Amino acid sequence: MTEPTADLPGDASRQPLSGQPQRRLIGAMPKAELHLHLDGSLRVDTALELARTRGIDAPRDWAGMSAALIAPMPCANQAELLKAFDLPIALMQDAEALERITDELVETKAADGVRYVEIRWGPLLHVAGGLSLTDGIAAVCAGAREAAARTGVVVRLICTALRSHDPDDNLELARTAARFLDQGLVGWDLAGPEAAFPDPLTHGAAFEAARSAGLRITVHAGEWGGAAQVERALAVSPERIAHGPGAVDDPALCRELTARRVTLDLCPTSNWQAGLVRSVAAHPLARLHRAGVPITLNTDDTTVSDITLSEEYVNAVEKIGLTLSELWAIDRRALEEGVAFADEIDLMPLRERFDGWASGIPELAASTERA
């Protein structure tokens, strides 16, 4: 694909858009994010206040709290990365905290130009202090609803089960989550320590209960075990797979993902941080996209990975090698029916807004959707 160009003042020729103009264009893009964890996106100042008011043993200064919430760059493996979630989860054990953190995350995303976001969290992780499952889910729904009304961001929620939890508990979680379909909770996910609990079918009953109730299905896979684990995840018939960059190593699997229209929600910085790739620049995002594999581009965790979506978009162009038009095509595809978990009645106006924004920008004119 030819590099997009921009007219230079006083010069009839067209040169590649780069540097600060390119970054400003990326920053101005309306964005959609489909893979974002609530407990990995806690504001540092909020964490300080919650630790103080809840009596949680945690750093009491900004620098110390920041260091505690941001995972090592990189970690030795997924297990080390998951340790970074222990403190946020300890701070998120009451309805007020859950509602506030959800509200603030939507506000943070709005400031970065995100116009559609799907936020996922594991409700069973937030009942240790006595909060009921129902009240915890209701609090997150309330925070999302309030922030959406204030910012104009379209927000949808994904309930995440943990691989390490009892299958019966996850079945009950699926049944409880389904009662919130009319409050913006639209998806079902499975995450957690993949090496210790590699088979998603252990929680097959929960997947089926969620699907039967109308929840859309995604699953974390390939954070350990590479392409084989991504293929294994297809057994639960997901519409999307969270992560899965190792699929690039198996051409047959890539063809299957494409044929089945299963989207990989990729997070380059987080994948490097977890040790899945040797560097952000080495991430196979561009190769997967050019091979026709459906993908989206996401942060995974705003705080744990210390990155905004705009910064991840810049990385995708400047480090990984996407063109601006390829980046826009990936961004725009996240709003397609069958990719985003919102209803078509909500997605259509968003697509029109995105298309209207891009219509006057020559650098994006070469964008094409990849089926």
Mean pLDDT of the region 63-86? 90
370 pLDDT above the threshold of 50: no
The predicted pLDDT at position 107 comes to: 98
DSSP string, 183-231: GTEEEEEEES-TTTS--GGGGHHHHHHHHHHT-EEEEEE-SSSHHHHHH
Q: Collect all residues with Cβ–Cβ distance below 8 Å to 301 and sequence separation of at least 6.
A: 36, 37, 40, 41, 270
* Nearest to 34, CA basis, from 245, 330, 258: 330
Query: Whole-angstrom Cα distance, residue 288 to residue 250?
Result: 11
The predicted pLDDT at position 17 comes to: 66
Q: What is the CA radius of gyration of the chain?
A: 20
Structure tokens at 343: 């209803």
**DSSP 8-state secondary structure symbol assigned to residue 274:** T
Q: How far apart are the first and last CA of the chain?
A: 17
Mean pLDDT of the region 87-102? 98
pLDDT digits (tens, 9 = 90+) for 223-246: 999 999 999 999 999 999 999 999
Mean pLDDT of the region 61-84? 90
The predicted pLDDT at position 369 comes to: 41
170 pLDDT above the threshold of 60: yes
Predicted confidence band of residue 15 (pLDDT cuts 50, 70, 90): low
pLDDT digits (tens, 9 = 90+) for 111-149: 999 999 999 999 999 999 999 999 999 999 999 999 999
The predicted pLDDT at position 4 comes to: 36
pLDDT digits (tens, 9 = 90+) for 283-321: 999 999 999 999 999 999 999 999 999 999 999 999 999
Q: Which is higher by pLDDT, 10 or 342?
A: 342
Predicted confidence band of residue 364 (pLDDT cuts 50, 70, 90): confident
The predicted pLDDT at position 371 comes to: 34
The predicted pLDDT at position 82 comes to: 85
Average pLDDT, the chain: 93
The predicted pLDDT at position 136 comes to: 98
Query: Whole-angstrom Cα distance, residue 117 to residue 104?
Result: 13
The predicted pLDDT at position 16 comes to: 60
pLDDT digits (tens, 9 = 90+) for 312-362: 999 999 999 999 999 999 999 999 999 999 999 999 999 999 999 999 898
**Lowest mean pLDDT across 73-82, 160-169, 207-216:** 73-82
Query: Exactly one of 33, 118, 223, 231 is catalytic; which is it?
Result: 223
1 pLDDT above the threshold of 60: no
φ, ψ for residue 323 (rounded to 5)? -80, 165
205-208 long-range CB contacts below 8 Å, 24 or more apart? Answer: 205/167, 205/171, 206/161, 206/167, 206/170, 206/171, 206/173, 206/174, 207/174, 207/236
11 pLDDT above the threshold of 60: no
**DSSP 8-state secondary structure symbol assigned to residue 340:** B
Predicted confidence band of residue 270 (pLDDT cuts 50, 70, 90): very high
Portion of the chain with pLDDT greater than 70, in percent: 94
Query: Whole-angstrom Cα distance, residue 289 to residue 316?
Result: 12
pTM recorded for the entire structure: 0.93
The predicted pLDDT at position 2 comes to: 35
Query: Whole-angstrom Cα distance, residue 16 to residue 5?
Result: 4
Q: Are 262 and 294 in contact (CB under 8 A)?
A: yes
Portion of the chain with pLDDT greater than 90, in percent: 88
Active site residue 337: no
